[in-house]
A and B are shown apart, each in its own frame.
Chain A
Amino acid sequence: MATETIDIQLTAKDFVTDQEVRWCPGCGDYSILKQVQSILPDTGVKKEDIVFISGIGCSSRFPYYMNTFGMHSIHGRATAVASGLKIARPELSVWVITGDGDSLSIGGNHLIHTIRRNFNMNILLFNNEIYGLTKGQYSPTSPEGKVTKSTPMGSLDHPFNPLALCLGADATFIARAMDRDVKHLRDVLTRANDHVGTSLLEIYQNCNVFNDGAFEIYTDKGSKVEEALFLEEGQPLIFGADNNKGIILNSGHPKVVRLDDGSYTADDLWIHDSSDRYKAHLLTTFFDNPSLEGHLPRPFGVFYATDRFRYEEALKDQLDLAVDKKGKGDLDSLLSGKNTWTVA
């Protein structure tokens, strides 16, 4: 981040506001709020240089609870508001807080365009696979056949794969975390913040009222080891009880292999490299319905990170270049134009 460092060490408490937090008791949002508040002091950015911008939905109440600058904007448009703010003030640390309905349904257009422009901002996409604030309709990430208030016979919508979508829009940083694995969440939040460019972090968040347990398979101690695959830079893709399983690339196709029957060792496995775009694409396809036989585990961590020019910096360069070439604009000569005549 371009912002200067602070002399007084802030603590998580400094980022807490006097507003009562009004999410439902047990909501996954509480954990995310807490982790964000706890990593910010270590980023070294001053409170007044941080802006949280949200759209509409449960998660979008987030800015009210952050003692920074904040705007609770309108449904789906947080990324567009944040884009304008970054153009105006590139030095600010801007965080967009959005949900699966906000960013993938009503705000889908702004999400993909913000990503391709690669403004230096962090987008936290709280995915709970349901519309919570409107009390329980299916969302663009709900699985097929999902029975909700608006789909009594099951949803007919095929869901979005958010990370695949964002990578398709040429995201320079995509990652996944979950509300219940707080240490991992903090690590990934920090990496998202460190990335210069648009960081898209999808956070699996439990809505205990309308979609309780949607991600339990990845968070429950019993199933987590078999179903969640934690990506570590430079390390082989290993998961399972006692780390007994791994992923190999078999003629370009991912395949689960056993490490405990002597047929494969860790040296045979796919080594995670977040700078490899092709591997990142493959990782986003680890998106099978976990109830299917032979499915791949769901990856968590940083899938992909690369460096590409930021819109706001390139614009600044153009402004500077224009001044270099034409000189600083002179209003009087602009107003008179090239052809004038005088009436005496």
Chain B
Amino acid sequence: MTKVVEEKREVTIVFAGDSGDGIQLTGTQFTNTSALFGNDVSTFPNYPAEIRAPQGTLAGVSGFQLQFGSVEVFTPGDICDVLVAMNAAAFKVNLPRLKKSGTIIVNTEGFNPKSLKLAGYEASPLEDKSLEDYRTIQIDVTKMTQTALVDMGLGKKEVDRSRNMFVLGFLYYMYSRDLSPTEQFIREKFTKNPLLIEANIKVLRAGYNFGDTSETFTSRYNVKAAQLPKGTYRNIMGNQAAALGLVAASKKSGLNLFYGSYPITPASDILHELSKYKNFEVKTFQAEDEIAAICSAIGSSFGGELAVTASSGPGIALKGEAIGLAIMLEIPLVIINVQRGGPSTGMPTKTEQADLMQAMYGRNGEAPMPIISANSPSDCFDAVFEACRIAIEHMTPVFFLSDGYMANGSEPWKFPSTASLPSISVKQAKERKEDDATFLPYKRDERLVREWALPGTKGLEHRIGGIEKEWDTGNISYDPENHQRMVKVRAAKVAKIADSIPLQELNNGTATGDVLVIGWGSTYGVIKTAVSQCITEGISVSHAQIRYIEPFPRNLGELIKGFKAVIIPEMNNGQLVKIIRDRYLIDAKGINKIKGIPFSTDEIITAIKEAEETVKKA
């Protein structure tokens, strides 16, 4: 029978199953294929902390949500159009995300009595009338996969492992997608095992053909390529973009990259990525702990390399004392915090923005340092590059804040060429001759920046350390006047960076109006979507996403004055809002979500409307 092809502007799918079901891989493949096809995409992997959580349980559900569209998409979607559930638990956890009349695709084998019991169902929900609002497609994926692979001589485990390919093939049919990018991926992944290449491709095609020949559903969908700005794109995840940004900064500064790190979720992928780039002179050092990770980076920076360390909240806490040392030494260092739910161990695989105060104030003594945050997965590239530039050009440690949401999320990236990237200027102190004046390690230029004096350079022998420095000479000093002067100059040096960063621009809306939504970090996409929608509805609202948090852009105060109300959504209990209130003495209102998951567009829209109403009443 002929099937109708329906056009869709954007579609949100959530893939869900056991953490061993290959859900992340399935989602990533669908994303890459859609991106290559030309859709705009935005993804949100959501997985448990346990590597192999007990099978079939609610706690073990791994999810991968993605939105793809023929228009620009800024979030992985609030409500899903399609739910793919490999078992009853995955179904139960994700059903609330599905819109009424949405499509459910289930593996019926995952609804056997045992699976139902593990998910806490007394009877199968598939036979329940409550599903009448949805369109349910029931497939015995396990059996179909086994049938496709019969006579291949594979064990049950290997057969079951390729079930995800059946589902993927089926969805490729449903959304009129090309199988070849995934087939290519399979060939590369299993280079050493031709049998597995054959098996996976067979199952992928079986899934596709099943869609074509079965009569279980009557429509296919087409999501046209998006009209993104002209250029060449690739799909990229946040941690990957951060790694590339570091390599790019190394190239543009001419300094070798040193990356000292201790494994921690969700930052480890940067280490994995960078460890592959040894032919770029990238040195990765997996240290014995978080403290050694940053201290080795300090040693490397003292030796003249582009030094970077990365972690997540708990690891950053351990690095605190050493960050203070880097501030005293006034040497370049980039500290990456891929934030996760806290405090303490908190929720390692869930996202949060609750380490801003830690970055800002989490050290002993007066210890100011610049803070830069990225807005989205691909923006991690630019933001970390900028963090490196500031660290090197201003001789200071710099915080780069990312979070689990953007670190693991992905989106299309119009990647730059090497030539188009700004160069980073490195100023190192020159060799001294016998008659030259004595080298003064803490002598500053007009930006209050001292010189980088590398070991091995004749005549620059000097000693530095964590004890208060004497002005110019850097010798130990306990002089009261000197300490006050040094504390002030270290703060002034950081403040002066504002002269070299761009002014704050509005990401949406007019320069004056009723409501200004200020965001930072990965809330960019959802705020952008919500504000656009409110503007369409005639609400006077604008959006400013702050990337430079310390120091703030010079014009931020002026910009804020143009609005009657300021609201600040954050995935924390109110942190940027406190800093904004402190700096600009305004009655900014915090919109806070601390659930380990990102805001939905509706939540932001509601907050904007409430703020607008308050303005109107006043």
Give me the interface of A with B, judged by CB distance under 8 Å: 17, 19, 46-53, 63-64, 66-75, 77, 80-89, 91-92, 109-110, 113, 315, 318-319, 321-323, 325-329, 331-332, 334-337, 339-344
The residue of chain B having its C-beta at the shortest distance from the C-beta of A89 within the complex is: B303
Q: Which chain A residues lie closer than 8 Å to B260 at the CB level?
A: 84
Complex contact B307–A84 (CB within 8 A): yes
Q: How far is the CA of A343 from the CA of B280 in the complex (A)?
A: 30
Smallest beta-carbon distance B317→chain A, Å: 15
Give B243's nearest chain A residue, CB to CB.
Answer: A334
> Is the pair A109, B292 in contact by a Cβ cutoff of 8 Å?
yes
> With contacts A86-B299, A332-B417 known, what are 17 further pairs, Cβ within 8 A?
A48-B455, A49-B456, A67-B461, A74-B466, A80-B287, A81-B295, A83-B295, A85-B455, A88-B307, A110-B291, A110-B295, A319-B278, A319-B281, A319-B283, A329-B281, A334-B280, A339-B181
Q: A331-B418, A336-B234 are in contact. Are A88 and B304 (CB under 8 A)?
A: yes
Q: Which residues of A are found within 8 Å of B236, using beta-carbon distances?
A: 337
The reply to whether the CB of B462 lies closer than 8 angstroms to some CB of chain A is yes
| Closest residue of A by beta carbon distance from B467 | A72
Determine whether B573 belongs to the interface, using a CB cutoff of 8 Å to chain A: no
Q: Which residues of A contact B289 (CB under 8 A)?
A: 109
List 11 interface pairs A-B (beta carbons < 8 Å), by A numbering: A48-B458, A48-B461, A53-B299, A71-B329, A81-B296, A83-B295, A84-B295, A113-B287, A331-B248, A335-B417, A341-B35
B457 within 8 A of A: yes
State whether the Cβ of B380 lies closer than 8 Å to any Cβ in chain A. Answer: no
- Tell me how far the C-beta of B331 lies from the nearest C-beta in chain A, rounded to whole angstroms: 10
State whether A331 and B463 are in contact (beta carbons under 8 Å apart), knowing that A48-B456, A77-B322 are contacts in the complex: no
Q: Which of B209-217, B224-232, B343-351, B399-407 contacts A (4 or more CB under 8 A)?
A: B224-232
* B578 close to chain A: CB less than 8 A: no
- Among A71, A87, A88, A323, point to the contact of B465 (Cβ < 8 A): A71
A170 smallest CB distance to B (angstroms):
14
Bound CA–CA A72/B469 (angstroms): 12
Whole-angstrom distance between the alpha carbons of A83 and B300 in the complex? 8
Residues of B within 8 A of A73 (CB): 295, 298, 325, 465-466
How far in angstroms is the closest Cβ of chain A from B450?
15
Residues of B contacting A92 with CB < 8 Å?
Answer: 303, 455-456
Q: Does B258 contact A (CB under 8 A)?
A: yes
- In the bound complex, do residue A344 and residue B299 qualify as a contact, i.e. CB atoms below 8 Å apart? no
Report how far A329 CA is from B257 CA in the complex, Å: 13
Supposing A87-B283, A344-B230 touch, asked if A77 and B455 sit within 8 A by C-beta, the answer is no
Known A-B contacts A69-B455, A322-B279, A343-B38; A87 and B285 likewise in contact (beta carbons under 8 Å)? yes
Given contacts A72-B466, A87-B283, A318-B278, contact A335 B325 (CB under 8 A): no
CB distance from A185 to the nearest CB of B (A): 23
Residue of A nearest to B298 (CB): A81
Which one, B292, B297, B307, B321, contacts A110 given CB within 8 A? B292
Question: Of A46, A88, A336, which one neighbours B232 at CB under 8 angstroms?
Answer: A336
Are the CB atoms of A342 and B248 closer together than 8 Å? no
Q: Which residues of B contact A (CB under 8 A)?
A: 32, 35-38, 181, 225-236, 244, 247-248, 251, 256, 258, 260, 277-281, 283, 285, 287-289, 291-292, 295-305, 307, 321-322, 325, 329, 415-418, 455-467, 475-476
Q: Is the CB of A84 within 8 A of B230?
A: no
Whether A327 contacts B230 by the Cβ 8 Å rule is no
Q: How far is the CA of A69 from the CA of B235 in the complex (A)?
A: 46
Q: How far is the CB of A8 from chain B (nearest CB, A)?
A: 11
Chain A residues with CB under 8 A of B303: 84-85, 88-89, 92
The contact of A343 among B231, B301, B325, B415, by CB within 8 Å, is: B231
Residue of B279, B299, B475 touching A82 (CB-CB under 8 A): B299
- Contact residues in B for A85 (Cβ distance below 8 Å): 299-300, 302-303, 455
* Minimum distance in angstroms from B237 CB to a CB of chain A: 11
Q: Which residues of B contact A70 (CB under 8 A)?
A: 462-465
- A77 and B295 contact, CB distance less than 8 A: yes
Contact of B463 among A71, A77, A325, A344 (CB under 8 A): A71
Would B476 and A64 count as touching, CB distance under 8 A?
A: yes
The answer to whether B461 touches A47 (Cβ under 8 A) is: yes
- Given the interface pairs A81-B299, A323-B279, A340-B232, the reply to whether A331 lies near B251 with Cβ below 8 Å is yes
- A64 and B463 form a contact (CB under 8 A): yes
A77 proximity list for chain B (CB < 8 A): 291-292, 295, 322
Cα-based distance from A50 to B231 in the complex (angstroms): 51
- CB pair A91 B299 closer than 8 Å: no
* A341 CA / B228 CA spacing, docked (Å): 11
Residue of A nearest to B292 (CB): A80
Known A71-B302, A343-B230; judge A335-B295 contact (CB<8 A): no
**Complex Cα–Cα for A109 and B464 (A):** 24
B465 engages A72 (CB within 8 Å): yes
A343 touching B36 by the CB < 8 A rule? no
In the bound complex, how far is the Cα of B305 from the Cα of A85, in angstroms?
9
Chain A residue contacts of B229, Cβ below 8 A: 343
Once bound together, how far apart are the Cα atoms of A86 and B298, in whole Å?
A: 12
Chain A residues with CB under 8 A of B32? 339
B234 close to A340 (CB less than 8 A): yes
A87 adjacent to B300 (CB under 8 Å): yes
Chain A contacts of B35 at CB under 8 A?
339, 341
In the complex, which residue of chain B has the Cβ closest to the Cβ of A326? B279
B298 contact set on A, CB distance < 8 A = 73, 81, 84
Contact A87 B258 (CB under 8 A): yes
Q: How far is the CA of A329 from the CA of B247 in the complex (A)?
A: 10
Residues of A within 8 A of B285 (CB): 83-84, 87
- CB-based contact B231/A327 at 8 Å: no
Alpha-carbon distance between A53 and B303 when the two chains are bound, in angstroms: 12
The residue that A17 contacts in the complex, of B233, B321, B463, with Cβ under 8 A, is: B463
User: What residue of chain A has the Cβ atom nearest to residue B457's Cβ?
Assistant: A48
**Which B-chain residue is minimally distant from A86 (CB atoms)?**
B299
Return the chain B residue nearest A60 by Cβ.
B465
- Distance of A84 Cα from B38 Cα, bound (Å): 44
Question: What's the Cα separation between A85 and B307 when bound, in Å?
Answer: 11
Closest to B260 in A: A84
Chain B residues near A335: list those with CB within 8 A.
244, 248, 415-418
A331 to chain B, nearest CB (A): 5
Other-chain residue from A66, A81, A327 in contact with B279 (beta carbon distance below 8 A): A327
Q: A19-B475, A73-B325, A81-B295 are in contact. Are A331 and B247 (CB under 8 A)?
A: yes
Residues in chain B near residue A342, CB distance under 8 A = 231-233
CB A71 to nearest CB in B, in angstroms, measures: 6
B234 close to A339 (CB less than 8 A): yes
In whole angstroms, how far apart are the Cα atoms of A73 and B326 in the complex? 9
Among candidates B233, B256, B459, B460, residue contacting A88 with C-beta atoms closer than 8 Å: B256
Q: In this complex, which of B256, B455, B465 has the most chain A Cβ atoms within 10 angstroms of its Cβ?
A: B455
Contacting residue for B291 out of A72, A80, A86, CB 8 A: A80
Question: Which residue of chain B lies nearest to A319 when distances are taken between CB atoms in the complex?
Answer: B278
| Complex contacts, B234 vs chain A, CB 8 Å | 336-337, 339-341
A74 to chain B, nearest CB (A): 5
Q: Is the CB of B235 within 8 A of A339?
A: yes
Given contacts A48-B456, A113-B292, A326-B279, A63 and B299 within 8 Å (CB-CB)? no
B136 → A minimal CB distance (Å)? 34
A92 to B456, CA, bound (A): 7
Q: Which residue of B lies closest to A18 (CB)?
A: B475
CA A336 to CA B244, docked complex, whole Å: 10
Question: In the complex, what's the smallest C-beta–C-beta distance from B458 to chain A, in angstroms?
Answer: 5
Bound Cα distance A47, B459 (Å): 9
Given A63-B465, A81-B295, A341-B232, residue A315 in contact with residue B460 (CB < 8 A): no
Expressed in whole angstroms, the minimum distance between the Cβ of A306 and any Cβ of chain B is 22
Contacts of A322 in B (CB 8 A): 278-279
Q: Which residues of A contact B251 (CB under 8 A)?
A: 331
Chain A residues with CB under 8 Å of B235's CB are 339
B455 touches A89 (CB 8 A): yes
Chain B residues whose C-beta falls within 8 Å of the C-beta of A321 in the assembled complex: 278
Task: Tell me how far the C-beta of B86 lies from the nearest C-beta in chain A, rounded to whole angstroms.
Answer: 26
Question: Cβ of A334: which chain B residues have Cβ within 8 Å of it?
Answer: 244, 247, 277, 280
Alpha-carbon gap, A332 to B247, bound state (A): 11
Which residues of B sit under 8 angstroms from A341, Cβ to Cβ?
Answer: 35-38, 232-234
